[in-house]
Every structure is written in C-alpha cells, then in structure tokens.
Structure 1
Amino acid sequence: MPQPSYPAKPRPGDRVAVVSPSAGLPAIFPEVYELGLRRLRDELGLEPVEYPTTRVLGAHPADRARDLVAAFADPSITAVLATVGGDDQITVIPHLDDAVLRANPKPFFGYSDNTNLLNHLFGLGVVSYHGGSVLVHLGRGGAPHPVSLDSLRAALFTSGWHELTAPAEWTDEPGDWRDPAYLGTEPTMFPAEGWRWSGPATVVEAPLWGGNLEILHWLLAAGRVGPNADYAGCVLAIETSEEMPPDTEVYRILRNMGERGLLAGFSAVLVGRAKAWNHPRPLAAAEKRAYAEAQRAAVARALHEYAPDAIVVYDLDIGHTDPQQILPYGGTVRVDAADRRISVRY
C-alpha cells in the first residue's frame, strides 16, 4: 500500500468542523465544550462550525457518519476536529462515503475511539492526526497546557519537521467536568522522568500507524485492519485509555498481534505513558507506579517475543495523559535511537 498523502493545512481565520463521531459529550458538559470552542477561536484563530450531531448524545451512527462526510465535502471547511472520544465509533465507519473522503481529503484530529477513523483514513491514503480534543485539551481547566497547545498549533498550521521533546511535567489526574470549579482550576501536575529507550541504536524514518491499543484490538476482531504487508516497516504507536486495562490484557492484545505476524513488521514502537488514575478508580501514588511498571513490562515482554529488533520508546505523552503531543497518522516519523530524538513531519 502506498504511503498516505498529506492534505492541505488550514490557516488562521479558516472555518473548521467540530464533530462528535463518538460520544456526544458536549450535550452533557456544555460549559467545558464552550470553553474549548472559545480557545479554538482565541488561541488558534479558527472558526468552529458545528454539525447536527455535535451536541447530541446517542446520535445514530448513520447520522454521525453523515456529519463527517458533510464536513469533508464542504469546500469552506479546511480541517475536522473531534470533540472527544467514546466507545462505539466502530459502528459509524460502515456508513461513511469513502468516495467523498478520498476526493476531499482534510486534516482530521482525534484520538482514543477516533482510532477507528484514523485507521480508516490511513486505508484511504489520507494522513490524519492522532491527538487533539476540543473538550479534553482545549477545554482543560485553568488553561490549555502549553505543550499540548504548541503541538496542536504546529500540527494544524505547519508542514515541516517538528521535534518532540519530553515535557518536564505530566498528569493523569484531570479535573472533574461535573465540578463547578473545574473551568478555573488547573490539574495537579507531577515531575516527568522522561522517555525510556530500548533496542538497537539505529535510525528509523517511516510512516506511523496505531493508536489506542484497546480500539486496535476491536479493529482487528472486526476485520478492519489490512494485510500485514500494508504496515511492514511502519512505526507503531500505542497507548491505553482511562479504562486502565490490566497488564495481562495489554500483553494478550500484543501477543495476538504478534501471532498474526503484525508486530514483526514494525521498525519502531512508540508507547504512550500509561494512564493509571481515573475518577472511578483513583489509585494512590504507589499503586499508579506499580500499574505503569506492569504495563511497560507487558509491552516489553510481547515485543521481545515478536519484534525483538524494533526500537522501542516508552512513556511518550501521546495518549490519555496530560500534556499530549500530536502524531501524524500515516505521516512520517523519524526515531533516532542513537541520539535519542523523535521528530514528526506534520
């Protein structure tokens, strides 16, 4: 399969679609959503355009697909941003009009359940962007994190190489959207320990594929992942969600990918920092460390067994933790294990 091509980028002042192809959480948290929209206008200079299901909870998959297709088809729209993730976007994908998406490629931004659409666009030959959320990142309490905002701005408006750097702080303990004080309160941040590297001290430059690990497992079960040859030589990016899958499940998902022959084809693997805290499951500091260590060990075990020659980098800020850095999905990534540097071509 040929490497996907980059769609044209928006410019400040452009109209961009804001859609809810997964959960319509703006219906439940309108204040957080409106804060995200204001920052989209004020911080990024873009004019958000909503669609009929953007603020609808439980919209039919066909209706959500219709909004996505309309956003891509509209010549006045220059990018498409997801409000948030969810858990049923897999039911939306069959309703899409692929001919329209191919004929009108646009940058799409989303992560988590939006892995469904990122993977679908990859198959259509369109580069998209893993990361960004109107609710989570632009609607962050207090202010957007500078690392998240800088990465989103670069991915939206630039087309060259952008070097990722390990932030000095991070958190997986976001504020509660139900708390009246949320909008004015920044989350508690913790010192970051930096990335962890393993594998050969070589340089890999290749297209990126992957996303949320749980969603990738669903896509494989549903037959939505192409033949192994389509991903051979790619850089794999994986991260886990706020559902906090146990390390045994993380290992088994990767083992299944290995038994299929998929893992052996990846030249490098970027592993997101594990989210080890959630409002329904607020682990203590020692429990969080144990969870993250067990997840790293599970990933390392599977990669040692099925992709022993791959460069592996752990604890990147590319998923459900804060801040978040954007990855070009289908776009080019350079992983330099000799100098321990990672660059992405936005």
Structure 2
Amino acid sequence: MTIMPQPHSFTYPPKLRPGNKVAILSPSLGLPEVFPAVFEQGLQRLREFFQLEPVEYPTTRQLHSPPQDRARDLHAAFVDPEIKAIIASIGGDDQIKVLKYLDPELIKAHPKVFLGYSDNTNLHNFLWNLGLVSYHGGTIMVEFGRCGEMHPTTLESLKYALFERGAYQIRPASVYTDESLDWNNILSLSQHPTMFPAPGWIWHNADKHIEGTLWGGNLEILDWNLRANRYIQPVETYAGTIFYFETSEEMPSATEVYRILMCMGERGLLQQFAAVLIGRPKAWSFAHPHTAAEKATFTREWTEAVIKALSEYHPDVLAVFNLDIGHTDPQFVLPNGGQVRIDGFQKKISVIYEKIDV
C-alpha cells in the first residue's frame, strides 16, 4: 500500500450529538425564500431523523443577499459555542464573492462541521487551505428535503459523517437518478423520483492501493477558483493528494471538461494527484431533458474526455469513475481534507470521517 504524505495537518471538526443546534445558512443562493415548502421539509427531516435543532440566520431566506451579509452570518455561526455545525441550504453561483470577507483566523480558531456541495466548493476549498476538514454533500433542500423521502443510502452516509468516527466504505449504487422533480409543483414534495439502473464503477489503472488526503469538489467551481488565482495553493502543495470531482446540472460538455483538466495539466496541478475519484456526471436537467440514449452518449463522451486528459498528463494515475458523489442521487458524503483508502486490487473505497486514535 502506498500512503501519501499530507500537504499539511488537518483538523477534523468535533462530532455532533443528538439535540445539538446547527446553523442553516445560505452562503450561496437564498432559494429558501423561493421554495419554502421544500426547505421546511428538509428542516423537518433534520429534526426527525437526526435529532438536530436548526437555527436560521438573517440571510438564510434572502434570495440575493450581499456577500458581506452572508460572510457575517458565517462568522456568527462559527463563533457561537451553541452552534455545532453549519449546513448549507443549497448551492448557487457566486459564493466566491463571499470568501474575501471571511476572517481565516476566526474560522480556524472555531472548527466546526460544514456540510454542502456544488457552489459550496468555494468554502470547502477555503477551509482546506486552513487545514480544516469539511464535508462535501448534503444540502437541506436537495438531500434532506428530497421529494418523497430521504434516500436511505444518503441518510446513512450523512449520519455516519455527522455522528460517527472511523472508516466508512462507500459502495456502487444499484439504482440512481439525476432527473429532478419540479419544486414549483407542491405535489412533487410527496412524489418519489424515478430511479434507473446504475452503471457500476469504472476502474482505471487499478493496480494500486493508495491512502491519502482528499481535495476537490465541483469541477466548474474549482475552475473558477483557478481563474481567480486567489484560493489555489502552489501546485506542489497538492502532491500526493487524492483529487475528487463531479459536475453540476449545468452539464459541462465533454469538450469543456477536457479543457478544464487540460489547463490543470498545463499548470502542473493534475500531475500532483496520487489518484482521482470522479462522480457520476449529471446528464439530465430541465434545460436539457435528455432521453436514455442521449444520457448514455453524454456520459460516454464525458468519460472518454476525462480519460483522454488523464492519459496525456498523468497516464499511470489510478482513477475511479461513476461514484455517487455531488449532483447525483443517492449521494455519499466525502470528507474534504480527510483521508480516503482506495484498494484497486479488491475494488474498494473507504473514507475516514474522523480518525480513531489507537
């Protein structure tokens, strides 16, 4: 087994206990103002299945609150000793504007669970740079507020991430969906989404057993961080890390995904990673309601584009495709900055939600 060195030490946030208060924030888009019913359904599930008490802040239900105000609410949640975790209501598209208003020393002095994904990749990257582990997945409106009921696989992963310690093995889903129901229709809240047979994981260069530190998130947002050139560390900082990424309902094409990875390769960043974990690409949206055949073609071309980029810039790297992370259902939570074990021989992946001292 190859154990990769951490770029710097990471602090896991304290685990939660039933009855804890958790901040529900909208660091990106305040969609709870537009879709209060699905938001309330998510809050009710948080209370019912997790025995956690949600606490809202001034910008939680404000659709377009100023970045300074969102930063203020984040600071307030981090410093409040009664708040034990921060959960994003949903993603968005401008969270990068919030980062410049954040006080890194204040946040580093008060490590707490942060849960979210998509545009919340900005905050995950910010926390990673501070050496703080955060959790990629699980927003109130999408996973907690899921139409019909919470997916049991997602529910189990969330519970383990929030409350348990040690290793958690993630497994390929037998069925999945990337086809959302319409929140404008109140009847959708009680309807179950259509599920489809899930293609299994695809292993690439699986002749290795690697353990290392996770870094990544939504690929489009990571690309924005690279373009801004303010929140990405020198490439050698990422040497030996395990890169994970997934894509959103904006469904970047195979060409666009290749170009993003190409630029990471030209930067010298792609070559730093000991392994790459790749989420099942979302291949359907309300703007592009693909047929089953169109989804299969989109996914095949997308996967081929990723393999092309890896083959050009990091031909020997271990890679695993079709993981249920990010914009897919069900969803496994990944500890950004936490440890992952990838066994290419036995085709197993385990994440460490918190180390158990021996």
C-alpha distance in 1 between matches for 2:256 and 2:82: 44
Where do 1:331-342 residues align within 5 Å? 331-342=338-349
Whether 2:317 is the aligned partner of 1:310: answer: yes
After TM superposition, give the deviation of residue 200 of structure 1 in Å.
3.9
C-alpha distance in 2 between matches for 1:115 and 1:185: 29
Indicate the percent of aligned positions where both proteins have the same amino acid: 55
Residue aligned with 1:242, SS:
coil
Whether 2:176 is the aligned partner of 1:170: answer: yes
Counterpart among 246, 251, 257 of residue 239 in structure 1:
246
C-alpha distance in 2 between matches for 1:8 and 1:180: 37
Whether 2:81 is the aligned partner of 1:60: answer: no
Match of 2:310, as an amino acid? L
C-alpha distance in 1 between matches for 2:303 and 2:261: 12
Where do 1:1-346 residues align within 5 Å? 1-223=7-229, 224-346=231-353
Match of 1:10, as an amino acid? L
Match of 2:91, as an amino acid? G
After TM superposition, give the deviation of residue 251 of structure 1 in Å.
0.1
Q: Is the 8 A contact 1:84 1:136 kept in 2?
A: yes
Equivalenced residue count is 346
Match of 2:349, as an amino acid? I
Say what the alpha-carbon RMSD is for the aligned residues: 0.7
C-alpha distance in 1 between matches for 2:138 and 2:191: 20
C-alpha distance in 1 between matches for 2:326 and 2:304: 18
**CA-to-partner distance for each residue in 1:252-295, whole Å, 9 max, x for gaps?**
00000000000111011000001000012101110000001111
Residue aligned with 1:211, SS:
strand
C-alpha distance in 2 between matches for 1:136 and 1:260: 34
Q: Gapped runs of 5+ residues in structure 1?
A: none
Q: Is the 8 A contact 1:3 1:207 kept in 2?
A: no
TM-score w.r.t. length of structure 2: 0.96
Counterpart for residue 356 of structure 2: none
After TM superposition, give the deviation of residue 100 of structure 1 in Å.
1.1
TM-score w.r.t. length of structure 1: 0.99
Q: Is the 8 A contact 1:200 1:309 kept in 2?
A: no
Moved more, 47-56 or 195-204: 195-204
After TM superposition, give the deviation of residue 26 of structure 1 in Å.
0.2
Q: Is the 8 A contact 1:15 1:77 kept in 2?
A: yes
Counterpart for residue 3 of structure 2: none
After TM superposition, give the deviation of residue 99 of structure 1 in Å.
1.3
C-alpha distance in 1 between matches for 2:282 and 2:198: 13
**CA-to-partner distance for each residue in 1:62-109, whole Å, 9 max, x for gaps?**
000110111111001111100100000000010011111010000101
C-alpha distance in 2 between matches for 1:77 and 1:100: 15
Q: Is the 8 A contact 1:174 1:187 kept in 2?
A: yes
C-alpha distance in 2 between matches for 1:99 and 1:197: 40
Match of 1:235, as an amino acid? I
C-alpha distance in 2 between matches for 1:200 and 1:273: 18
After TM superposition, give the deviation of residue 194 of structure 1 in Å.
1.4
Residue aligned with 1:258, SS:
helix
**CA-to-partner distance for each residue in 1:184-219, whole Å, 9 max, x for gaps?**
001000011211101141111000001100001000
Residue aligned with 1:271, SS:
strand
C-alpha distance in 1 between matches for 2:10 and 2:257: 28
C-alpha distance in 1 between matches for 2:14 and 2:250: 35
**CA-to-partner distance for each residue in 1:219-270, whole Å, 9 max, x for gaps?**
0011110011111100000101000111100000000000000011101100
Match of 1:265, as an amino acid? Q
After TM superposition, give the deviation of residue 167 of structure 1 in Å.
1.3
C-alpha distance in 2 between matches for 1:49 and 1:180: 24
C-alpha distance in 1 between matches for 2:117 and 2:186: 26
Q: Is the 8 A contact 1:269 1:313 kept in 2?
A: yes
C-alpha distance in 2 between matches for 1:302 and 1:191: 28
C-alpha distance in 2 between matches for 1:150 and 1:259: 39
After TM superposition, give the deviation of residue 3 of structure 1 in Å.
2.9
Q: Gapped runs of 5+ residues in structure 2?
A: 1-6, 354-358
Residue aligned with 2:125, SS:
helix
Match of 1:208, as an amino acid? L
